[in-house]
Amino acid sequence: MVSLHYPPILSGSHELRLAKVKRSLPRRLRTIAVVVLCAVLVLGLSLLGFWQLDRARQKQAMLSAVELVLQQRRPVALAQVLDRNARDDFAWAEVSGHFVAPLIFLDNQQHQGRAGLRLYAPLAQPGEQTRLLVDLGWLPWPDGRVLPHVQLPVAPVVLAGLLAPPPSVGVRMGAAAAIGRTPVLLTRLDPDELSAQGDVHYATRVLRLDPAQTLGYARDLNVLANTLPPERHRGYAVQWFALAAALSSLLLWHRSRTQKS
């Protein structure tokens, strides 16, 4: 008769190993959670850096396009001036016409570090249904925050300047303000919104009046006056990438310590 021999069950050592497994499981889960969180943060910071670089590239391209236009100052045809499909293009224009109502004051505009208003006046050209908004420059808010009294020529005028997109609308809050015959104060200038209010259509670009002309108020042809220049975007990109690199280094250090322990 063959007798079977079974190894003794060491209940004490088995329970000890089970206890170690139970203690190490939450630690591993925490380590995995930390690694995943850090990886997501590194990815997010890197994406922010690349977004800033892309914004710098876009604005540098904008500045280069404007510089070329200002060097050549070659006027485009009136059909191109009033082209409603040319939204983000820059061009030089020479136009004639007369100013019509309403005058438009755009709030929250900066000039040399001061906040104030920017004045836009619609210019009507003979035989054209589309009107061109002319940027006549920056004015400070008068005392009492009453809209300034502005007197524009009644006779036809000949103007020259830079065709450019209107100031960025940003976050749209509230409905578009209604306009009529009287001066109006707006917090955003959107030619499409203005065109949708009646039979009058507005060109999608505005004419930024040449500072050499005597008409108008304080102005220049700086297309990035109320926004960040390319070098600031590049600086922010460096900061985001540095944060991503620092977090990656911290993650590698934590992993090396975990492996040693």
* pLDDT, tens only, 49-107: 999 999 999 999 989 999 999 999 999 999 999 988 887 789 999 999 999 989 999 99
**What is the C-alpha to C-alpha distance for residues 177 and 169, in angstroms, rounded to an integer?**
14
Q: What is the pLDDT of residues 232-252, one digit of tens each?
A: 999 999 999 999 999 888 878
Residue with structure tokens 């911290």? 250
- Note the pLDDT of residue 131: 94
- Note the pLDDT of residue 7: 56
Q: List the structure tokens of 195.
A: 């065109």
pTM: 0.75
Assess if residue 103 is contained within a domain: yes
Residue with structure tokens 């925050």? 145
Read off φ and ψ for residue 187, nearest 5 degrees: -100, -10
Q: What is the pLDDT of residues 128-141, one digit of tens each?
A: 889 999 999 999 98
Assess if residue 115 is contained within a domain: yes
Assess if residue 136 is contained within a domain: yes
Assess if residue 16 is contained within a domain: no
Assess if residue 104 is contained within a domain: yes
Q: What is the mean pLDDT of residues 194-203?
A: 85
Number of domains composing the chain: 1
Q: What is the pLDDT of residues 160-185, one digit of tens each?
A: 999 999 987 655 555 556 666 688 89
- Note the pLDDT of residue 18: 52
Assess if residue 249 is contained within a domain: no
Using an 8 Å Cβ cutoff, are 203 and 81 in contact? yes
The pLDDT mean for the chain works out to 84
Q: List the structure tokens of 7.
A: 């190894």
Assess if residue 164 is contained within a domain: yes
| Containing structural domain, residue 205 | 74-169+176-227
**What is the C-alpha to C-alpha distance for residues 98 and 167, in angstroms, rounded to an integer?**
23
Q: Which pLDDT band holds residue 16 (cuts at 50, 70, 90)?
A: low
Assess if residue 64 is contained within a domain: no
